[in-house]
Amino acid sequence: MTLFLLLIIVALVLGLIGAVAGGLGYLLVIGILVFAADLLLGYRLLRGRRRPVR
């Protein structure tokens, strides 16, 4: 869970810097990619935590 939140914060910071600073558009792209990877990681974590039906 900590890794999930840390990656979201990193993605937001990179996205903000990339959007605001001129000429650093590649940081915006990297932030979007990190965010997408984080969503996939979170989806896998949620899928693995389901309790089996008795």
Closest CA to 7 of 37, 43, 47: 37
- Cα angle, residue 2 at apex, residues 10 and 32 outer, rounded to 5°: 30
User: Which pTM was predicted?
Assistant: 0.73
How confident is the model over 1-54, as pLDDT tens digits? 788 888 889 988 988 888 888 888 888 888 889 989 888 888 877 776 666 677
d(C-alpha 15, C-alpha 18), whole Å:
5
